[in-house]
Amino acid sequence: MLSAEQTHLLAQGVLALLALAVLGFAAWDRRRWGYTRIQYVLYVLWRGYLHLVWCASVDRPVRLPPGQGAILIANHRSSVDPFFVQMTTPRVVHWMVAREFCQLPLAGWILREVMGCIPVSRAGIDTAATKMAIRLAQSGELIGMFPEGRINDTGEFLLPGRPGVALIALRAQVPVVPMFIFGAPYHGTVLSGFLSPARVRVRVGEPIDLSTYFGQEHDRRVLEELTLRFLKELARLGGCPQYQPRLAPRRWMPSAPAGSSTTASTGS
Per-residue pLDDT of the chain (268 residues; tens, 9 = 90+): 667 776 766 666 666 666 665 556 446 555 555 667 777 777 777 778 888 888 899 999 999 998 999 999 999 999 889 989 999 998 889 998 877 877 777 777 777 777 778 888 766 566 888 999 999 999 999 999 999 988 999 999 999 999 999 999 999 999 999 999 999 988 777 677 777 888 999 999 999 999 999 999 999 999 999 999 999 999 999 999 999 999 998 765 444 444 444 455 554 4
Mark residue 32 as left, alpha or beta (left: phi above 0; alpha: psi -120 to 50; beta: remaining): alpha
Closest CA to 248 of 217, 224, 221: 224
* Pairwise CA distance, residues 142 & 21, whole Å: 30
What pLDDT, on a 0 to 100 scale, did the predictor assign at position 45?
A: 79
Q: Which CA distances in Å does 67 have to 80, 137, 141, 264?
A: 26, 10, 7, 25
Q: What are the residues facing 57 on neighbouring strands?
A: 201
What pLDDT, on a 0 to 100 scale, did the predictor assign at position 137?
A: 97
What pLDDT, on a 0 to 100 scale, did the predictor assign at position 124?
A: 58
Q: What are the residues facing 73 on neighbouring strands?
A: 145, 178
Long-range contacts of 183-188 (CB under 8 A, 24+ apart): 184/77, 184/78, 184/80, 184/81, 184/84, 185/54, 185/78, 185/80, 186/77, 186/78, 186/79, 186/151, 186/153, 186/259, 188/153, 188/258, 188/259
Whether 73 contacts 178, CB under 8 Å: yes
What pLDDT, on a 0 to 100 scale, did the predictor assign at position 254?
A: 46
Q: Which CA distances in Å does 207 have to 68, 88, 177, 183?
A: 11, 13, 4, 23
Q: What helix, strand, coil percent values describe the chain, rounded to 5?
A: 40, 15, 45
Give the number of residues written for the chain.
268
What pLDDT, on a 0 to 100 scale, did the predictor assign at position 122?
A: 65
> What is the Cα Rg of the chain in Å?
21
What pLDDT, on a 0 to 100 scale, did the predictor assign at position 51?
A: 81
* Pairwise CA distance, residues 169 & 210, whole Å: 8
